[in-house]
A and B are shown apart, each in its own frame.
Chain A
Amino acid sequence: MYTQALDSAGAAEPQGDVEEAARLERFQARIDRDEKIEPKDWMPEDYRQALIRQIAQHAHSEVVGMLPEGNWITRAPSLRRKVVLIAKVQDEGGHGMYLYSAAETLGVSRAALIEQLLAGRAKYSSIFNYPTLTWADIGAIGWLVDGAAIMNQIPLCRCSYGPYARAMVRICKEESFHQRQGYELMLTLVRGSAAQRTMAQEALNRWWWPSLMMFGPSDAHSVHTAQSLRWKIKRFSNDELRQKFIDVTVPQAQYLGLTVPDPQLCWDEPAQHFRAGPIDWSEFQAVLAGDGPCNRERLAARREAHEAGRWVREAAAAYAEKHRTARPRPAAEEGGT
């Protein structure tokens, strides 16, 4: 992932419309043959921008996603739960790093991406703007939010852009533990006291709809879907993935003895699918626009962490600089008189 330091051989000026059209056609043909596109290959500017937008948004989501769960690290009910939660949160930070690294191969600097996030100009998954009110929310997040993320991410392992696909393979290998620890946490709660069962049910009530919204707007209203599918940046539409998630998750809720908070949810026997009631998209839009319960808090926490770490970054840079410029004294001088 070496774009930043390399010449931009891929970005040669198009020579006239005819040649440009031919290049586009060759590019699409490569995609259609399931060839991977690598950093130095020629690619349409729109493809590059679409990838930067999606990978950056994804990276920011991993980084901001550490905050709701980080909220419970000091209050985890046992040492076992605490080491698990720390490991999970650290993984999410790592996922952010893999993804920034992939985005950088497209010629954007990491500093610029982080700057956009801190300035409030970048998007990240709206799910992380909800608060974690009880310990059961940690279970619900692992089970539902990581579950939805896995559903979204598995097809991305076959994305047409090599560095993104490879980052996703790495991420998907790690996500499975996130989901399982969450479900195990929920299982422990529903097998506990009546109060613990209530806590689990309330967490499901809070996280169910936001989890469904994680797949993005319905296909009819999704602006980027068609082009992303053509370029194989995405492999399935938002609604297809959402349906898959509902189909696998409802039986898991039933096993827990919990009720999915959707009175219209029913089993469609001929189609072999669960049918969910309509999603309240006005809530999604409001959270996306910055009016979710924790939008301001999340950004403030990121900014504070960034500022608080500034002296460390500066000290490390100064130390490295000192050692780079410190040269051994010439032998002649060393000999003295």
Chain B
Amino acid sequence: MTEDWLLYEVFIRSRSGLEHKHVGSVHAADARMAIEHARDTYTRRLEGVSIWVVRSSEIVASDPEEAEALFEPARDKIYRHPTFYAIPEEVKNL
């Protein structure tokens, strides 16, 4: 069986002012080719003005099993939101 080329994750900035967003992946022999494949695969209709490619093996992801430990603590900290504070209606610009 022929081996796959390296796997790269593709991130596209759809227009300047916006962040790069993950769109999928491509296989390529090197980073330059990954950019070219990403261009052909993900921007045939002006979907982007800039491309990032990152070797998939370089991405470190959090484990869904630890999602609770990571994200639950933020749930009861509603005092971090402006709506937590009651301000009389007459007070303006707050």
Interface residues of A (CB under 8 A from B): 1-2, 4-6, 9-10, 38, 40-42, 87, 90-91, 94, 97-98, 101-102, 104, 109-112, 115, 166-167, 170, 174, 310, 313, 316-317, 319-320, 323-324
Contact partners of A316 in chain B: CB under 8 A: 5, 29-30, 33
Out of A97, A170, A317, name the residue touching B26 (CB < 8 Å). Answer: A97
CB pair A40–B29 under 8 Å, yes or no, is: no
Contact partners of B76 in chain A: CB under 8 A: none
CB pair B25–A38 under 8 Å, yes or no, is: no
CB pair A320–B29 under 8 Å, yes or no, is: yes
**Could you mark each residue 22-58 of chain B with 1 if its beta carbon is under 8 Å from any beta carbon of chain A, else 0?**
0111110110010000001100110000000001110
CB pair A320–B7 under 8 Å, yes or no, is: no
CB pair A40–B41 under 8 Å, yes or no, is: no
User: Does B65 count as interface, using CB distance less than 8 angstroms?
Assistant: yes
CB pair B65–A9 under 8 Å, yes or no, is: yes
Chain B's nearest CB lies how many Å from the CB of A160? Answer: 15
Contact partners of B23 in chain A: CB under 8 A: 170
CA A313 to CA B9, docked complex, whole Å: 20
CB pair B7–A5 under 8 Å, yes or no, is: yes
Q: Is the interface of B mostly helix, strand, loop or mixed?
A: mixed
Chain A residue with minimal CB distance to B9? Answer: A2
Chain A's nearest CB lies how many Å from the CB of B68? Answer: 13
Contact partners of B90 in chain A: CB under 8 A: none
Q: Which B residues from 1 to 32 make CB contacts under 8 A with A?
A: 1-5, 7, 9, 23-27, 29-30
Known: A2-B59, A40-B61, A90-B44. A323 touches B30 (CB 8 A): yes
A-B CB contact pairs (8 Å), 27 listed:
A1-B9, A1-B24, A1-B25, A2-B9, A2-B59, A5-B7, A5-B57, A6-B59, A6-B61, A9-B65, A40-B63, A42-B64, A94-B40, A94-B41, A94-B44, A97-B41, A98-B41, A102-B24, A104-B25, A111-B3, A112-B1, A167-B24, A316-B5, A316-B29, A317-B5, A319-B29, A324-B30
Contact partners of A109 in chain B: CB under 8 A: 4
CB pair A104–B29 under 8 Å, yes or no, is: no
Known: A167-B24, A323-B30. A111 touches B56 (CB 8 A): no
